[in-house]
Amino acid sequence: MGLSKFSWVSGIAIVFLQLVTGSFGWGQHGHYVTCKIAEGYLTENAMAVVKELLPKSAEGELAAVCSWADLFAVRSHYYWSRALHFVDTPDFRCNYDYTRDCHDSSGRKNRCVTGATYNYTLQLMSACHNSASKSRYNLTEALMFLSHFVGDVHQPLHCGFLGDLGGNRIHLHWYRRKANLHHVWDTEIIDTALKRFYGSDLNIMIESMQKNITEDWSNYVESWEECDANCTVCPNPYASESVKLACKYAYRNATPGSVLGDEYFLTRLPIVERRLAQGGIRLAATLNRIFNSSCGLISNVGKGEQGVSFA
């Protein structure tokens, strides 16, 4: 079956069976961690709206749908969404500029991870305050896309260089296995840490990070939550941080053909864990700002028309 012929699968449960991880963002584990951390910082009001919008199959758990946007079926059916998971930046500049960088490969403006983050925030906000928007947009999808993209923008190589497609073209070894640098940052560092330090139990990894947030990182949490005055969402500084981290940590000592082992793993894992935590805290802060007490979305939220998702 060719990609273009892949028809929309009814029922999210079936779509979940088609999980694809890899070069599309934090892998499944990374997105789960980010959203699980976010769940713990949602206000009562935001949690109520989130639960109202989640598909039934999520059983009230935001983290259950945070990899939805990476599903093979979703990416195939919503082909237009492929450019929305990342923003590539000019090689070796180590900086990000929305006007310069946020476009897809055909040059269409705003089609990148930061543009998508603005877009889905606006959809949810307009639905909060305008009943016509409730039926215009698919708010369940808007929530799932937003929760996914806030995670993606924190993965440093999602704001990597255009020339190597955010590390996807840098082929090397992760210990003994062949990998590419992008995949190392999406998945391998997290999975190696899970096995080595957390008994392959994702919940233990999450608990450890939650403890870090309330202890070692507690002084930073407030600044992570901040957004420019009166802004609801602010993905641009997250993308700037990411490309700087890509230059300082991801690309360093990771040239094509190299073998990455303990030295690379142990020095980069703290960066990955911090980015997952920041993503979670910032996703919660964003959802809390969108679904504040003036949001009129507590009941009768719109399910919208499938696929009408990029305003």
Positions that interact with Zn ion (CB under 5 A)? 24-25, 70, 85, 152
Residue 174 phi, psi (nearest 5) = -100, 105
DSSP string, 244-287: HHIIIIISTT--TT-EE-HHHHHHHHHHHHHHHHHHHHHHHHHH
- Enter the tokens of residue 207: 């608990």
CB of 39 to Zn ion, least distance (A): 19
Q: Measured between alpha carbons, how far is residue 290 from residues 59, 114, 120, 127 in Å? A: 22, 17, 11, 10
Is 275 in contact with 248 (CB distance < 8 Å)?
no
Closest approach of Zn ion to the CB of residue 199, in Å = 27
Residue nearer to Zn ion on the CB measure, 23 or 133:
23
Q: Angle of helix 202-214 relative to helix 262-290, nearest 10 degrees?
A: 70
From the CB of 28, what's the least distance to Zn ion, in Å? Answer: 10
Cα separation, 8 vs 114, in Å, equals 26
For Zn ion, the closer of residues 31 and 274 by Cβ is 31
| Least CB distance to Zn ion at residue 263 (A) | 28
CB closer to Zn ion, 144 vs 287: 144
CA 19 from centre of chain: 15
Choice between 141 and 213, CB closer to Zn ion: 141
For 21, 49, 144, the CA distances from 300, given in Å and listed in that order, are 34, 11, 18
Least Å from the CB of residue 23 to Zn ion: 9
The distance of closest approach from Cβ of residue 79 to Zn ion in the complex, given in angstroms and rounded to an integer, is 14
